[in-house]
Amino acid sequence: KAGVTQTPRYLIKTRGQQVTLSCSPISGHRSVSWYQQTPGQGLQFLFEYFSETQRNKGNFPGRFSGRQFSNSRSEMNVSTLELGDSALYLCASSLAREGAAGYTFGSGTRLTVV
Amino acid sequence: GQQLNQSPQSMFIQEGEDVSMNCTSSSIFNTWLWYKQDPGEGPVLLIALYKAGELTSNGRLTAQFGITRKDSFLNISASIPSDVGIYFCAGGLKTSYDKVIFGPGTSLSVIP
């Protein structure tokens, strides 16, 4: 079966701009979680969506937002980009009943803010 | 809040050697998970542990869920070059949703 697809793979943006990242989960998976990965901070949880509803949210400023569509595809948006937002953004999908043990991660979007 | 510590932070070993790494926390978790991340890719689940004291193997990998539910161990036997990567532990909590905390990772390098 097709894996989790994240687009784009690489992105370079200028400070102050906004960016939208996309995640297509595995077919049938209704839960999508987003993580930010940086060398110093590891994997930091951003938010989780299930059936178009945000079910859980991490400790990130309001500039980070997301949404999920009826086909379970998810997008995350970062507004007013800062240099510190440079990171690998990972999306993971799962069947709701499997929870974290059923996470399948995408390859990520590498965002560089200059 | 909950936080996981992984040790060692990095390790360099000879091909064929066995590897041990661990994950500790001051908090109790219901689930322990071990993931491996190859360069340029997302983490991949290696082993999931669901009960205190549980010992589970996946090929050359063996992991254990600590009795206190505050720690977990991963062992890799007879390491090979493709074992290179970052190994993350993750603790899972069952609340109204599944909350997962990831450790900072252990970077493994294997010298042929």
Give the mean pLDDT of A83-89. Answer: 97
Chain A residues within 8 Å of chain B (Cβ atoms): 4, 33, 35, 42-43, 45, 48, 50, 55-56, 90, 92, 99-101, 103-108
pLDDT in tens, B61-99: 999 999 999 999 999 999 999 999 999 999 988 765 667
Cα–Cα distances in Å, from B75 out to A5, A29, B22, B51? 31, 31, 9, 18
What pLDDT shows up at residue A39?
82
C-beta of residue B33 within 8 angstroms of C-beta of residue B14: no
Cross-strand pairs, A87 = A111
Cα(B112)–Cα(B14) distance, integer angstroms: 6
Give the mean pLDDT of A79-90. Answer: 97
What DSSP character marks residue A39? T
pLDDT in tens, A52-63: 999 889 999 999
Distance from the A36 Cα atom to the nearest Cα atom in chain B, whole angstroms: 11
Q: Is the pLDDT of residue A100 over 90?
A: no
C-beta of residue A99 within 8 angstroms of C-beta of residue B92: yes
Give the mean pLDDT of B39-51. Answer: 92
Q: Is B100 exposed, middle or buried (0-12, 13-18, 19+ CB in 10 A)?
A: buried
Please report residues of A whose CB lies closer than 8 A to that of B41.
107-108
What pLDDT shows up at residue A54?
92
Cα(A101)–Cα(B2) distance, integer angstroms: 18
With H, G, I as helix, E, B as strand and everything else as coil, classify residue A98.
Answer: helix
Please report residues of A whose CB lies closer than 8 A to that of B58.
none
Where does A5-102 show beta strands of DSSP type E?
Answer: 5-7, 10-13, 19-24, 31-38, 42-50, 53-57, 64-68, 74-78, 87-94
Query: Among residues of chain A, what percentage have pLDDT more than 70?
Result: 95
Contacts of B8 (CB under 8 A, 6+ apart): B21, B106
Residue A90 identity (one-letter amino acid):
L
Give the mean pLDDT of B14-31. Answer: 95
pLDDT, mean over chain A: 92
Cα(B59)–Cα(B26) distance, integer angstroms: 30
- One DSSP character per residue, B65-89 reads E-TTSSEEEEEE-S--GGG-EEEEE
Please report residues of B whose CB lies closer than 8 A to that of A39.
none
Give the mean pLDDT of A35-50. Answer: 89
